[in-house]
Chains A and B, each alone.
Chain A
């Protein structure tokens, strides 16, 4: 792929990712970037996973994807243009190849060229908050490529955590765990037989390491109930540590790191956190309150100061924000409408970013062309330049108003002294104690 096309592909991925998610965080202690790299990722978000990893990778990866995509008109052309590698699943329609020899050969060639190859070793998009069984494809590709003469291969496990994968403008965390140096793994393997893709013991051993690396990086809860319980417990503990930041959203990367570690605690400790979390959630729901209202307090002077500041900013930006609202409301509603699609969350997570990109792009271009054709191209160019700024003003004002609303609710919550609120504070303290014990 030419550097021009590569840059363009990454720009489109960046635009799609930045439009779809309001916050993209990365957790990476160490990561590999040079030489032949096999990127192995969990697969919670369908196409969204690939978009995020193309955007965040230092090079456009050769994506291993199901061959049925190649027969979809626009998607097929796109897959060919980015030199994706087709893999046939036995339960997919169409002739396909039962052995996938061509897929393995293409992966070996890509790694021999020093490329980045992206594969989702679970083989399916997953709607549960944990990894599906990790298939041996990635391990066989890595060992096969090395046996074919490519040295220096690194396997980089990745985990993608979505706040709500089917929601437009939600948050996402991409976590990279420790890279696996294949040469070191092979050197350590005490095997009389050649360490290649046909060596079952070597494949299984490497696959175990790949799965462990992915599990380290990816969400790893038993079920959605446990995910919600541990995430609430982690949020409460983090707010407890910084009560002055209570009205702000808890940092998603920090919450996920703490929640996953709570979920991995011993049975009784984990169960105590789960019980305390369920009780606190039920109490909050009964009072129609949120945790931030009970974490810390806010002074009257502070809320008046914030009201004055936010009121001034809102007044200054209001004309632009209203214009941005008028311009952005239809694409926003169309994108939000993807939540109504009667399909699995992973399917909606695939459709949503594509719909967002298309409808926002069409409106932006259509508006500029319509204004240009009606009132002159200079004005059309001006509209094209200013539309993103107006929509940005809307987002800014909306964020300020939400923060102000949460501060006001916290101010009210901190002054409530009824028995149910006191009970909620007690449940909250019990949850903090359970977290402290579990950690």
Chain B
């Protein structure tokens, strides 16, 4: 079984295709008729800076903590959040039966039309 180091895979699947795209775009800008020198230079600068920057932004920007980002913000004033929190607290023994029944009835009565 042939194994390929990560650095070679990055070159083969990322850097090489990106270079091919860049070369073809630069070739098009250089050979395209009807462009002024100024706009040719502007396009060249744009693709030379834009392409690597876009790639770097896509792949290298700090990933941060996606777990924390994805954690749904729970608003304790939201009655749905309050209902689930109440049940969990009661199951964990943090809320006594009388308080639980009173608060549960209060929450479930809210929606009687």
Residues of A within 8 A of B (CB): 1-2, 4-5, 7-8, 10-11, 14, 24-28, 31, 55-58, 70-71, 76-77, 80-81, 174, 237-243, 245-246, 250-251, 253-254, 257-258, 261, 295-297, 372, 376-378, 381, 414, 432, 435-436, 439
Flag if A2 contacts B7 (CB, 8 Å). yes
Question: Once the chains bind, are A376 and B84 in contact (CB under 8 Å)?
Answer: no
Across-interface contacts of A174 in B (CB, < 8 A): 70
A56→B64 CA distance, assembly (Å)? 10
**Which A residues touch B70, using CB under 8 A?**
24-26, 56, 174
B60 to chain A, nearest CB (A): 5
Which residues of B come within 8 Å of A, CB atoms?
1, 3-4, 6-7, 9-10, 14, 24-25, 28-29, 32, 43, 47, 50, 58-60, 63, 65-67, 70-72, 78-84, 87-88, 90-91, 104-105, 107-108, 110-113
CB of B42, distance to nearest CB on chain A (Å) = 11
When the two chains form their complex, are residues B66 and A81 in contact, meaning their CB atoms are under 8 A apart?
no
Contact check, B6 vs A81: say whether CB atoms are below 8 A apart: yes
- Point out the residues of chain A lying under 8 angstroms from B72, CB to CB: 25-27, 251, 253
Is there an interface contact between B60 and A242, defined as CB atoms closer than 8 Å? no
Knowing A28-B71, A56-B70, say if A5 contacts B6 (CB, 8 Å): yes
User: B24 to chain A: which residues have CB within 8 Å?
Assistant: 377
Q: Are B6 and A1 in contact (CB under 8 A)?
A: yes
A253 to B83 Cα, complex, angstroms: 13
Other A-B pairs beyond A5-B6, A25-B72, 18, CB < 8 Å: A7-B59, A55-B66, A58-B67, A239-B111, A240-B108, A240-B112, A241-B79, A242-B79, A243-B111, A246-B111, A253-B72, A257-B84, A257-B87, A257-B88, A258-B87, A376-B28, A381-B47, A439-B87
Check if B80 sits within 8 Å of A242, measured CB to CB. Answer: yes
Flag if A8 contacts B111 (CB, 8 Å). no
Is there contact, CB below 8 Å, between A242 and B110? yes
Residues on B with beta carbons closer than 8 Å to the beta carbon of A243: 110-111, 113
Q: A80-B3, A241-B108, A376-B28 are in contact. Are A28 and B80 (CB under 8 A)?
A: no
C-alpha spacing A71/B4, complex, angstroms: 14
- Which chain B residues border A55 with CB–CB below 8 Å? 66
Residues in B neighbouring A27, C-beta threshold 8 A: 71-72
Complex interface: chain B residues within 8 A of A2 (CB)? 6-7, 10
- Chain B: CB-nearest residue to A55: B66
Contact A11 B66 (CB under 8 A): no
Verify A10–B110 contact, CB threshold 8 A: no
- In the complex, which residues of chain B have a beta carbon less than 8 angstroms from the beta carbon of A250? 80
Instruction: Please tell me if the beta carbons of A56 and B67 are within 8 angstroms of each other in the complex.
Output: yes
CB distance from A220 to the nearest CB of B (A): 14
Q: Please, which residue of chain B has its CB at the minimum distance from the CB of A52?
A: B70
Q: How far is the CA of A31 from the CA of B67 in the complex (A)?
A: 10
- Bound-complex Cα distance A257 to B107 (A): 17
Which of A11, A14, A58 has a CB less than 8 Å from the CB of B65? A58
A295 touches B59 (CB 8 A): no
Name which residue of chain B comes closest to A176, CB basis: B67
CB distance from B26 to the nearest CB of A (A): 9
Q: State whether A241 and B67 are in contact (beta carbons under 8 Å apart), knowing that A5-B10, A436-B105 are contacts in the complex.
A: no
A352 smallest CB distance to B (angstroms): 20
